[in-house]
Amino acid sequence: MKLASPKQNFQDWFTQQWAIFWGKEIESNDVPWLMGAFGKPGAKADDFIHEIAKDKVLEIERNTASNGLLASIQDLNFSSEEYNRLSKNVVDFYEKTADYELSFAVKWNPFFKFFGKLINYLFSNRINQLNVPTNNFESSNQIKSEIIRLVNPESKEVKYTVWYRTFESTQQVLYSGIYSTCELPSGKTCIKAVFPLPNGNATVIMTPSVGVNGELLLISSGKKFGDAGFYFLLNDSKGRFWSQYIRSFQDRLIVSSVGEKLVATQKLTLWNLRVLEFQYEIKRKGED
């Protein structure tokens, strides 16, 4: 019998059992591009950071200026033509993310707003992770953005990069994820974001490209397991790994330079229907 671990909250057990039923069993050594950190039952917000640091004997670096989501934009393996076309402001943001502050507005499709509220009630509020507002905000809301790095205490090599984002007004966690690059079975280099959840994680793999005006496009979309897109991963009661690829759920993020500022548009769709849309304003800290 293939069962999720019973020693956890019922909502978590039920969703994990769903992923086992509809997903596939995987061998961790066969999918290094997909594997990432798992959360523990009862863990909240940034608990996984301290758990990883303890388990891997790493140091936690916080509140350090000029740390980025990427050590270098070259990690994305763009062609020379794409790299030369990419906005230098966009490059600076991804290489020095900690030097920037963000604000955003959100607009929901009314049909999906109830499901957003249900997810927040059953999961997000309890684990303090993925707290997406379910009310439309036409004006920008300020986000506290922090890059947290886990480093080897001897070599100082960065092992994990966490982008920790909270609402300044409530301190609720919007997103707390581990960011890296990965190489898909096709050979394509992508950005991978891993959001640890009880006994598993939600993983988003984004294919990068450069638009005609120098904007960075990150697309989470594919047709089959092994493509970019959304994945749920879990560890069951017997220690086996499972993954469910959510082909119908897609994400499109565009980061553009407008003057000296950056703007980003993020659209989430389900079955090709718009679920919600974020509009971000990104600027260097201390600038008006």
Segment 100-125, tens digit of pLDDT:
999 989 999 998 888 777 776 666 66
Q: What percent of the chain has pLDDT over 90?
A: 65
Q: Which residues of the chain have pLDDT under 70?
A: 1, 45, 120-128, 136-140, 288
Structure tokens at 171: 């301190």
Residue 184 confidence (pLDDT): 98
Residue 135 confidence (pLDDT): 74
Going by C-alpha positions, the residue among 234, 202, 233, 235 that lies closest to residue 220 is 202
Cβ-based neighbours of 37, under 8 Å, separated by 6 or more: 48, 52, 160, 178, 194, 196, 201
Q: Give the type of residue at 178.
A: I
Euclidean distance between CA atoms 72 and 91, whole angstroms: 8
Euclidean distance between CA atoms 137 and 106, whole angstroms: 5
Please state, in angstroms and as integers, the Cα–Cα distance from residue 179 to each residue in 69, 136, 158, 166, following that order.
6, 28, 12, 16
Euclidean distance between CA atoms 52 and 227, whole angstroms: 27
DSSP 120: I
Residue 7 confidence (pLDDT): 80
